[in-house]
Structure formats: structure tokens, C-alpha cells
Amino acid sequence: MRIGELASRTGVSVRSLRYYEEQGLLTSTRSAGGQRHYAEADVERVAFVQRLYAAGLSSRTITELLPCVDSPSDENSDAAMERMAAERDRLSAHIDDLLRTRDALDALMASARAYRDARPVPA
């Protein structure tokens, strides 16, 4: 199938599909005229890549996980699980930072409210 059909079937833009190919997440064959052609299995591959992006993973991380899909083995599965655990830890640390930032903002807002409420009312 050509790139437009893959885009239509997956709900992913043609531009994104080209990006996936540039990043090594997706491969195509080329016609004599240079048009990209994809296999039926690429519909599921694009859906899988989209799920990985939705989980907050970068294209670099996704590239590291793909051997688990392309060449299943205990070693590749273990490596993928370790990489996903590291990403989860990174996200958890980021969430903790965001919560501290939100709490600091809440404290500033409370101070501002207290200051406003304590001001003398002009006569």
C-alpha cells in the first residue's frame, strides 16, 4: 500500500509516517518512481508505535524497544522491560517535580490571597 493509504488506515499523518521512517521505526520499499510502499503488517506497527508515543516514550526509546518486536527473545524482552522501567522511573521523577512546583505555586497563591485580604479597604 502507498503512504496515503497507510495514513488513512492508521489515522496518522503522511508527515508522521515519513518521520517514523527517518527514525527507523518503520520501513518501506520503493517503487521505480521512488514511491513508498508498505506491507499490511505496517498498519499494526504504526498502531504499536502510536501506543508507545502515547505512553510518553521518545522515538529514540521506541527504537531501543523495537528489537523485542522484530526479533523476540528473552534477552530482547528483558532489555525492553528494563528500558520501560527506566522510562517509568524518569516519568515518576518528573511527576514528583511537577507536584513540588504546583505546591510552591499554591503556597504563593495563598500568600497573595492573605496579603490581599489583610489590606485596609480604602474609604
What ranges do the domains of the chain cover?
1-74, 77-122
pTM of the model: 0.77
The CATH number that domain 1-74 falls under is 1.10.1660.10
* Distance separating alpha carbons of residues 54 and 33, to the nearest angstrom: 34
Give the SS3 label for residue 36.
strand
Helix (H) / strand (E) element for 30: namely: strand 29-30
- Distances in Å between the Cα of 8 and the Cα atoms of 44, 50, 51, 63 are 13, 14, 17, 24
The pLDDT tens digits of the residues spanning 29-69 come to 998 988 999 999 999 999 999 999 999 999 999 999 999 88
* Distance separating alpha carbons of residues 33 and 41, to the nearest angstrom: 23
